[in-house]
Amino acid sequence: MADLEALVDGGRFATTGPLAIALVVVDRARGRDMPLDAFDFRAANSAQVAGAGGVAANRILRRHGVTNSLGSEGGRTSRGSIDRMEELVALLNRRHAAGDLDLDAVEAFWVQKARDYFNTTPIAFRADPALSLRMALRELLAQAELRQKSMGGVMIVGAVMQHIVGAVLELSLGQGGVTHHGSNQNDAKGRGGDFELEDAVLHVTNAPTAQLIGKCRANLDAGGRPVIITNPKPLIAAEVLADAEGLGGRIEFVDFEQFVCVQLYSLGGFKALDVRSQLTRLIEIYNAIIDQVEPSPSLRVALGG
């Protein structure tokens, strides 16, 4: 795939429009005689790439299990779209002439490039002022879940929750008031949970398990006060797990959304503009934490209004 990589290295196929063009051109090439004629890939007005809309590209991605979207317009009207199409058609013709054209492999190459694009693009966080902070956080986790599905088993939601809580703690306690760890790091080197603050040991999770309750037992045995911060729905199940392990009433269970919202409202003095300012600062701290402790930028968040 060196020739395809060379095409990508120039940066001309690095965004949604060009990626949509590549996917659609390869797909349309399946039903045509070789060598390909680039003119056949032009729309009727000759100024656009035929069929290279985001809808068509997204349909191709769905066939490969990718649920993210390249938009609705794709690369039909973007500047340079015809040039990009002609470059790719020429490459396919060269491969055909060399007896080395495997359209399935070429399509898989572009699907992976789309995955790479999605997985390095910040998670979108649209904090609509008309909505409650709780709903905004819920939407953030929904976007994180979409990212998680597209990354094939990488645990995104729990990592986002952990570092949002870490950012809230740093916002409240000041820089240096809390130690951050990568989401893939086990509780090692004497660490009892995700965060340790005086006697409290905080565990942040979107899916409490019996194993986590076991860690809470160890916290209690060591004189700590375990706190599980999780989403609203798993809270009841987590309490049932604690009861089953004989730890009913000894573990604090905190709603993740409420924990973050109450902190932001308190820090913002319950004034709408100041709360919004605290939210912006929260995301700045969160992204700084990601840069510090996580190996991938895919966990970064882009805040929009």
Give mean pLDDT, residues 180-184: 88
Residue 36 has pLDDT above 70, yes or no: yes
Least confident residue range of 65-74, 166-175, 178-187? 65-74
For 289, half-sphere exposure in the C-beta direction (CA atoms, 13 angstrom radius) is 29
63 and 17 inside one domain: yes
Residue 300 has pLDDT above 60, yes or no: yes
Instruction: Compute the distance between CA of residue 68 and CA of residue 145 in angstroms, rounded to an integer.
Output: 11
Give mean pLDDT, residues 238-259: 95
Q: What confidence tier does 60 reach under pLDDT thresholds 50, 70, 90?
A: very high
User: Of 91, 120, 149, which one is at a domain's C-terminal end?
Assistant: 120
Give mean pLDDT, residues 269-273: 95
Q: What confidence tier does 9 reach under pLDDT thresholds 50, 70, 90?
A: confident
User: Of 120, 142, 172, which one is at a domain's C-terminal end?
Assistant: 120
Q: Could you tell me where the DSSP H helices lie in 121-222?
A: 133-150, 157-173, 210-221
List pLDDT tens digits, range 77-112.
455 889 999 999 999 999 999 999 999 999 999 999
Least confident residue range of 3-7, 85-89, 220-224? 3-7
CATH number for 249: 3.40.1350
175 and 186 inside one domain: yes
281 and 133 inside one domain: yes
| Cβ–Cβ under 8 Å, residues 167 and 194 | no
129 and 149 inside one domain: yes
Q: Which of 31-45, 68-82, 117-131, 179-193 has the highest mean pLDDT?
A: 31-45
- State the pLDDT at residue 178: 94
* Crossing angle between the packed helical segments 133-150 and 157-173, to the nearest 10 degrees: 140
List pLDDT tens digits, range 200-212.
999 999 999 999 9
- State the pLDDT at residue 187: 53
Domain of 24, in residue numbers: 2-120
- State the pLDDT at residue 50: 86
95 and 175 inside one domain: no
174 and 190 inside one domain: yes
Output 42 or 68, whichever has higher pLDDT: 42
Give mean pLDDT, residues 67-75: 66
* Prediction pTM value: 0.74
111 and 128 inside one domain: no
133 and 25 inside one domain: no
Strands 225-230 and 200-204: parallel
- State the pLDDT at residue 148: 84
Residue 76 has pLDDT above 50, yes or no: no
Q: How many domains does the chain have?
A: 2
- State the pLDDT at residue 73: 53
| Cβ–Cβ under 8 Å, residues 82 and 59 | no
Residue 305 has pLDDT above 80, yes or no: no
Q: Per this entry, what is the length of the chain? A: 305
Average pLDDT, the chain: 90
58 and 137 inside one domain: no
User: Of 94, 120, 146, which one is at a domain's C-terminal end?
Assistant: 120
- State the pLDDT at residue 94: 96
